[in-house]
Structure 1
Amino acid sequence: MTPADLQGSIISHRNDRMGGRMIAMLNALRITRDYDLPFFVGWTTGGRTSEEMRDPTAIFDADWVAQHFFDGDVLGEVYDDLIDLSTLTQHTGWTPEKFRAAIAQGSSFLSGAAMGVTVLPWENPQEVAARLPLAVESIRFSAPVRAMIERIDSIFAGTKLTAYHIRRGDIIYDPITSNKLWPNKFIPREFYEQHLGRTLADPDARVLIFSDTPVEVERLRKVDPRVQGFDDLLGDNDLTPGARDFLELFAMSRCKHIYGPPSSAFSQTAMTIGGCSLQAVEDALSPEDRAAAMDRMTDRLEARSTLFINMGDVGQCLHFLIERQKELGDPARARRIIRAYMDDGLDKSFAYQLLCELSVATGDLAACEDIRDLAYARPSYSDDSMATVNTYSALHHLAQGNTDTALDRLHASFWFRPLENVVHGAVNLGLTADIVTPDNFYPFDPAMTRQKGNVFPQGRRALAELNTIAPKGYDPEDRSDFHMWDIVVRDWRLTCGKKLNRAFTNKSKIAKSLDMLERAFSKLEGSPALTSARGVLLFAAGDADEALECQRRAIAAAPDTPLYRKRISDVLFSQGADKTALFQLRKASNLMGWHPTYQAELGWRLWRMKERDESWEIYNRLAVADHRFIEVHLMTSDMIRRDPDRLEEALAVLERGLKPAHGAQRLLAAKARLLMMLERVEEGRAVYEQLVDCGLGTEHTHVEIYRQFSALGREDIARELTARSIYDFDMVKEMAGG
């Protein structure tokens, strides 16, 4: 299947597990049925895809898959141009006529919502919700799944089973997924225990437990013979992981009532298919029962109960621990419990976040510096945790008036997580206090700054509390400076360096950002600042000609503004007008004065245009320059290592970047490669082991490991390291050309 085959269609895609993929598919099918449109599924199977999702033919008919499904390679070619159905609103003028016209012109729409009913702006929500379950009729299932569906319908006919859905799995086991907090998907077992006691008070009650972690099913089955698992009803079936996962979802849909997490695509999709009732188990508890469950969980945490499966299990309970202790007015108890676990080895990234939040809640912002020290003293290889501890440390130093240290921390947090709202809030406080400027940070347009009451998100109490923090000499009640840092990330993608999620490049999402920009800065209408900023988003959305015109108008109005010339050079380079683009970039760099980001960008462009001598001059100067830009250190090190006589110097430059970027995967991989080039093999191997054992080794990391060690005749080391990862050695070897 090619991108051309997909034009004028509705495309379903979710790169997650069964519930999210199924609801995205059902919403897409509903729309294609209603409007007689082509239907396709972008079904990713590579990378970190869970085992049950790797083979769609285990769930669906093979011919149907061949007709409608395509893989991640094709998806990557079309994704940015897909119009996300969630961006269709009356505000943006979408009507049935506009929708059909877009389809007729070849535009395709993305159904990617993980939960709920997708309703187009002109549709009746109640009518759509009633039709959505009928979309299942359009799915052709594999023969084993069809047979089991019939059996389930037969077994469940006339029953009134109550289902409990206990989500665990990757949330507590996967090294990446378990590093995030999932309070809307992970619910402590004590809530289920408490609710189950009430359910079983009815002598006619029968309960079916669904969980991706068998031990949770076994524990509740022991409570009462009326509590059963999927296998108790259907026997020990020889099902593939994918088929079993879907059939559990289908069986859940045949229950009368479902109690589970408040935000699980799995149980939400089961409800949608079956029309049964679904309630969050926590909401179904009385205040007294909820308090009893929380107190039992707290006591178990403090006593280090063996009921907790692992540190991932412990970690996910900590959100609820904090919630309860704040209710009781004793957040210090939560802080003590969490710190004790961290001292005992818990290093989940959100644990640092929670400790920082509790430090704020207990009026001890200074403790965030100690938490940062803890993170930097251990192999905590998580961008989230590093961004968090640097952000809170920055807030502490801003409040104390320690400007240099605050700026160090802001640079680190912005590099680790350049799109994070809490990071942007801290940078805005630095901007308010004139600590962050275009000269010492990523260059930005000061004219695109406005006043805002709260610069931290209000949706979460812990983050809203940060609005009570102000730089030294400022009143928290005063309005703060606000800048749209997303635009800065677009300007400096090369020297920000981070790989960002697909939503950042999806054109319909960018159109939404453009609308927000124009509304937020409407007072600047017609100004070169807003004109140039619009050009940045238009360029990101693929409208290079209009973006070029925006930058030309901005430069005509403000010819000495370096950023506008840098932006026009970006557009010109993309159009192949390299010489004119280079002229504009040189002009921008000269107008700015010496700045690491302009210099690194200019050096990078010069190298690719074969202007090697001038490029070397720039990177030689960057190699000895004192600056805070982590990515520029990495770029400079990568350049210098091209000279075999300067490998030690390249390593020294890289170490300057690694100091603030503790545990960063890309920098560590570069360090390991340099150590191997220096024939410091055991040191290089040790760094690779750190990457692998912390779950940060990508496919490309293992390809590099294979190449490095097989060149030394030690393929056995490469095999052993890959065996400690999620990757297949033979696949890695093939990728490496071995």
Structure 2
Amino acid sequence: MTPADLQGSIISHRNDRMGGRMIAMLNALRITRDYDLPFFVGWTTGGRTSEEMRDPTAIFDADWVAQHFFDGDVLGEVYDDLIDLSTLTQHTGWTPEKFRAAIAQGSSFLSGAAMGVTVLPWENPQEVPARLPLAVESIRFSAPVRAMIERIDSIFAGTKLTAYHIRRGDIIYDPITSNKLWPNKFIPREFYEQHLGRTLADPDARVLIFSDTPVEVERLRKVDPRVQGFDDLLGDTDLTPGARDFLELFAMSRCKHIYGPPSSAFSQTAMTIGGCSLQAVEDALSPEDRAAAMDRMTDRLEARSTLFINMGDVGQCLHFLIERQKELGDPARARRIIRAYMDDGLDKSFAYQLLCELSVATGDLAACEDIRDLAYARPSYSDDSMATVNTYSALHHLAQGNTDTALDRLHASFWFRPLENVVHGAVNLGLTADIVTPDNFYPFDPAMTRQKGNVFPQGRRALAELNTIAPKGYDPEDRSDFHMWDIVVRDWRLTCGKKLNRAFTNKSKITKSLDMLERAFSKLEGSPALTSARGVLLFAAGDADEALECQRRAIAAAPDTPLYRKRISDVLFSQGADKTALFQLRKASNLMGWHPTYQAELGWRLWRMKERDESWEIYNRLAVADHRFIEVHLMTSDMIRRDPDRLEESLAVLERGLKPAHGAQRLLAAKARLLMMLERVEEGRAVYEQLVDCGLGTEHTHVEIYRQFSALGREDIARELTARSIYDFDMVKEMAGG
């Protein structure tokens, strides 16, 4: 299947587990049935895809898969041009006529909502949900799944089962997934225990437990013989993981009532297919029962109960612990419990966030510095923890007036999570206090700064509380400076360096951002600042010609603004006008004066244009320069290691970046590679082990590991390291050309 085959279609895609993939498919199928359109599925199977999702033919008919499914490579070619159905609103002028015209012109639309029913802006939201279950009829299932569907329908006929859906699985076990809080998917067992007791008070009640963690099913089965699991009804079944996962979803859809998490695609998709009732188990409890469940959970946490499966299980309960203790006016108890677990080895990245939030709630912002020290003393499992501790540390130092340290922390947090709202809020406070400037941060346009009442999100209490913090000498009641930092990320993608999610490059979402920009800065209409900023988003949306015109107009109005010339160089390089682009980039760099980001970008462009001597001059100066830009340190180290006589110097430059970027995957991988090149094999191996054991190793990391150790005749070490990961050694070996 090629990108041309997908034109003028509805494409379903979620890089997700069963529930999310199925609801995206059903919404896509519903639309294609209603509008007589082609239907395709972008089904990713590589990387960290869960085992049950790797083979779609275990669930669907092989011929149907061949007709409608395509892989991640094709998806990568078309994704940025897909129009996300979620961006279709009346505000943006979408009508049935515009929709059909776009289809006729070859545009394709993405169905990617993880939950719920996708309703187009001109459709009746009362009527569409009833048509979604009918879309299942369009799916051709594999023979084993088809046979089990018939069996389930037969067994469930005439029953009135109550289903409980307990989501655990990767949320508590996977080294990456378990490092994020999932309070809308993970619900403490105490809520289920409390509600089950009420359900079983009805002598006619029959209960079916669904969970991706068998121990949770077994625990509740012991409560009463009327409580059963999937296997109790269907017996031993010889099913693949993917087929079983779908069939559990289908069986759940045949229950009369479902109680589960408030935001699980699995149980919500089951409800959509079966038309049964679904209620969040927490919402189904009375206030008294909810309080009893929370207090039992708190007591168990404090007593280190063996009911908790692992630290992932403990970690996911901490959100609820904090919620309850704040209700009781005792957040200090939650803080004590969490800190005790962390001192005892709890290593989940969100624990740092929770502890920082509790420090703010208990009036002890200074404690955030100790929490940062704790994070930096341990291996890091995700960028989130590093972004969090640096952000809260920055807030502490801003409040104390420690400008240099505050700026260090803001640089680190922005590099780790350049699109995070809480990071942007902290940077905005730095901007307000004149600590963040275009000279010492990623260069930005001061003319695009406006005043805002609250720079931290109001929707979550713990983040809203940050609006009470102000830089030293400023009043929290005063309005703060605000800048759209996502545009800065687009300007400096090379030197920001972080891999961002696909939504950042999806053109329909960028168009939505453009609309927000124009509304937020309407007072600047016609100014070079807004014109140039519009050009950045137009370029990102794929309209290079209009973007070029915007930058030309901005330069004509403000010829000495370096950022506008840098932006026009980006567009010109993309069009192959390299000489003109290089002229503009040189001009921008000269206007700016010596700045690490401009220099690194210029050096990188010069190297690609074979202007090697000048490029070396720039990187030699960067190698000894004192600056805060983590990505520039990495770029400089990568350049210097091209000279085999400068490997130690390359490592020293890299270490300057690793000091603030503690635990960063790309920098650690570069360090391991340099150590191997320096024949410090045991040190290199130790770094690779850290990457693997912290779940930071990608497929490419393992390819590098294979090549390094097989070259030494130690393929056994590569095999052993890959065996400790989620990756298959034979696949890695093949990718490495071994």
Per the TM alignment, residue 497 of structure 1 is displaced from its structure 2 partner at its CA by: 0.3
Q: Is the 8 A contact 1:355 1:371 kept in 2?
A: yes
Partner of 1:507: 507
Contact 2:9 2:109 in 1 (8 A): yes
- Structure 2 unaligned spans of 5+: none
> Contact 1:381/1:662 (CA < 8 Å) preserved in 2?
no
Distance 2:563 2:293 in 1: 56
CA distance in 1, matches of 2:529, 2:258: 53
Partners of 1:328 and 1:41 in 2: CA distance: 49
SS in 1 for 2:127: helix
Q: Which moved more, 1:165-174 or 1:722-731?
A: 722-731
* Superposition deviation, residue 484 in structure 1: 0.3
Structure 1 stretches of 4+ with a deviation exceeding 6 A read: none
Q: Deviations along 1:7-28, whole A, 9 cap, x unmatched?
A: 0000000100000000000000
Q: Deviations over 1:89-123 (max 9, x none)?
A: 00000000000000000000000000000000000
Q: Secondary structure at the match of 2:187?
A: coil
Q: Deviations over 1:673-729 (max 9, x none)?
A: 000101111111110010011010111111111111111111111111111111111
Query: How many Å separate the matches in 1 of 2:598 and 2:726?
Result: 39
- 1:567-603 deviation line (CA, Å, top 9, x unaligned): 0000000000000000000000000000000000000
Distance 1:332 1:232 in 2: 45
CA distance in 2, matches of 1:54, 1:699: 16
Is residue 451–residue 479 contact of structure 2 (8 Å, CA) maintained in 1?
yes
What SS does the corresponding residue of 2:470 show, helix, strand or coil? coil
Query: How many residues align structurally?
Result: 738
CA contact (8 A) 2:504 2:510 kept: yes
Q: What are the superposed Cα offsets for residues 130-184 of structure 1, whole Å, 9 maximum, x if unpaired?
A: 1111111111111111111111111111110000000000000001100000000
Distance 1:381 1:677 in 2: 26
1:221–1:229 CA contact under 8 A, matched in 2: yes
Query: Would the aligned equivalents of 2:456 and 2:466 in 1 still touch at CA under 8 Å?
Result: yes
Shift of 1:297: 0.2
* Aligned counterparts of 1:360 and 1:337: Cα–Cα separation in 2: 16
How far apart are the structure 2 equivalents of 1:380 and 1:89? 41
Which secondary structure does the structure 2 equivalent of 1:164 belong to?
strand
CA displacement, residues 65-97 of structure 1 (integer Å, 9 cap, x when unaligned)? 110000000000000000000000000000000
* Residues 199-228 of structure 1: CA deviation (Å, up to 9, x unaligned): 000000000000000000000000000000
SS at structure 2 position matched to 1:126 = coil
Aligned mates of 2:405, 2:459 — CA distance in 1: 29
CA distance in 2, matches of 1:385, 1:230: 38
SS at match of 2:283: helix
Which residue does 1:293 correspond to in 2?
293
Aligned residues of 1:417 and 1:423 also touching (Cα < 8 A): yes
Give, in whole Å, the separation in 2 of the partners of 1:54 and 1:372: 38
Aligned counterparts of 1:30 and 1:99: Cα–Cα separation in 2: 15
Q: Determine the C-alpha separation between the residues in 1 that align with 2:579 and 2:175.
A: 47
Aligned-pair CA distance for 1:380 = 1.9
- Give the unaligned 5+ runs of structure 1: none
CA distance in 2, matches of 1:591, 1:537: 24
- The separation in 2 between residues aligned to 1:381 and 1:494, in whole angstroms, is 24
Alpha-carbon distance in structure 2 between the residues aligned to 1:531 and 1:32: 39
Please list the CA deviations of residues 443-464 of structure 1 after superposition, one character each: whole Å capped at 9, or x if unmatched.
0000000000100011100000
Separation of aligned partners in 1, 2:405 and 2:128: 55
Quick check: 1:381–1:665 contact (8 Å CA) kept in 2?
no
> Are the counterparts in 1 of residues 255 and 276 from structure 2 also a CA contact under 8 Å?
yes
Q: What is the CA deviation profile of residues 235-254 of structure 1, one whole-angstrom value per residue up to 9, with x for unaligned ones?
A: 11001100100000000000
Do the aligned residues in 2 keep the contact of 1:162 with 1:205 (CA within 8 Å)? yes
1:659 equivalent in structure 2: 659
Contact 2:394 2:405 in 1 (8 A): yes
**d(CA) in 1 for partners of 2:688 and 2:231?**
42
Determine the C-alpha separation between the residues in 2 that align with 1:650 and 1:60: 51
Residues of 2 paired with 1:187 and 1:587: CA distance?
Answer: 57
SS in 1 for 2:132: helix
SS in 2 for 1:278: strand
Match of 1:79 in 2: 79
Contact residue 640 and residue 650 of structure 1 kept, 8 A: yes
- Contact kept, 8 Å, 1:561 with 1:591, in 2: the verdict is yes
Cα deviation for residue 423 of structure 1 reads 0.2
Q: Which residue of 1 aligns with 2:29?
A: 29
| Whole-angstrom distance in 1 between the partners of 2:317 and 2:365 | 24
In 2, Cα distance between equivalents of 1:379 and 1:275:
47
Query: Counterparts of 2:657 and 2:566 in 1: how far apart (Å)?
Result: 25
Q: Distance in 1 between matches of 2:379 and 2:252?
A: 41
Deviation at 1:381, TM superposition (A): 3.1
C-alpha contact 2:179 2:381 (8 A) present in aligned 1: no
Is 1:155–2:155 an aligned residue pair? yes
TM-score (structure 2 length as normaliser): 1.00
TM normalised by structure 1 equals 1.00
Describe the SS at the equivalent of 1:696: coil
Task: Give the Cα–Cα distance (whole angstroms) in 2 for the partners of residues 202 and 683 of structure 1.
Answer: 63
Q: Deviations over 1:20-42 (max 9, x none)?
A: 00000000000000000000000
Within a 5 Å distance, the mapping from 1:203-352 to structure 2 comes to: 203-352=203-352
1:669 to partner: Cα distance: 0.4
Preserved contact between residue 175 and residue 381 of structure 2 (Cα < 8 Å): no
State the 1:332 CA deviation: 0.3
Q: Does 1:516 align with 2:524?
A: no
Give CA deviations for 1:599-625 in whole Å, capped at 9, x if unaligned.
000000000001000000000000000
SS at match of 1:635: helix
Contact 1:163 1:209 in 2 (8 A): yes
Does the 8 Å contact 1:366/1:396 carry over to 2?
yes
Shift of 1:382: 1.4
Aligned mates of 2:494, 2:55 — CA distance in 1? 36
Q: Secondary structure at the match of 1:359?
A: helix
